[in-house]
C-alpha cells in the first residue's frame, strides 16, 4: 500500500488505487477468478452405468481424447450398444484423479479417471 495514497485519501477499487493505479498488495496475491467448468458427456454401457450410479465403481477407463483434468465433470449417459440408443438415466460425476497412459501398463493415449458421483437422474 502506497503511503501517499493513504494520506491523500485515494479511493481503492479491487485492491488498486483508482487515482494513481498502485496496488494495495502484490498483483499475484489478488484473487483471480476460477477457470470455467468443463463438462464431458459420455456413453456408458448399462451394467457399468448401474455400478457407477450405485457408487460401487469409482473409476472410468477412457481414451484421453478430451484432455480430462481434475475438477471436470462427466455426464455419464446409459447407452445400449446392441440397440444403439440411449436408455435414459444420467449420472453427473466429478473427476477426482487422472492417471495418464504410458505408465503402469496403460497404453499411451488412454487414462484412468477417479470419479465421484454427484447427481443421478432416472433409474
Q: Does residue 56 sit in the same domain as residue 102?
A: yes
pLDDT tens figures, 71-91: 999 999 999 999 999 988 899
Question: Strand runs (DSSP E) across the chain, as ranges?
Answer: 12-13, 16-17, 39-44, 59-63, 73-80, 85-100, 110-121
What does the pLDDT read at residue 44?
A: 93
H or E element, residue 105: none
Tell me the per-residue pLDDT of 28-76, one tens digit each, with 9 for 90 and over.
Answer: 555 555 566 799 999 999 999 999 998 899 999 999 999 999 999 999 9
**Together in a domain, 105 and 56:** yes
Bridge partners of 111, per DSSP, are 62, 100
| Whole-prediction pTM | 0.67
Question: Domain of 113: which CATH number?
Answer: 2.30.130.30
**Partner residues linked to 80 by β-bridges:** 85
Domain of 5, in residue numbers: 1-32
Amino acid at each position: 500500500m502506497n503511503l501517499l495514497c493513504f494520506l491523500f485519501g485515494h479511493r481503492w477499487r479491487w485492491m488498486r488505487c483508482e487515482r494513481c493505479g498502485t496496488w494495495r498488495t502484490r498483483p499475484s496475491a489478488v484473487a483471480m477468478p476460477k477457470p470455467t467448468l468443463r463438462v464431458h458427456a459420455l456413453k456408458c454401457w448399462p451394467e457399468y452405468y448401474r455400478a457407477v450410479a450405485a457408487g460401487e465403481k469409482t473409476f472410468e477407463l477412457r481414451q484421453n481424447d478430451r484432455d480430462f483434468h481434475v475438477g471436470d465433470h462427466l455426464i455419464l449417459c446409459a447407452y445400449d450398444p446392441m440397440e444403439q440408443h440411449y436408455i435414459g438415466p444420467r449420472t453427473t460425476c466429478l473427476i477426482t484423479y487422472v492417471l495418464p497412459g504410458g505408465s503402469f501398463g496403460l497404453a499411451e493415449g488412454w487414462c484412468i479417471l477417479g470419479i465421484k458421483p454427484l447427481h443421478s437422474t432416472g433409474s
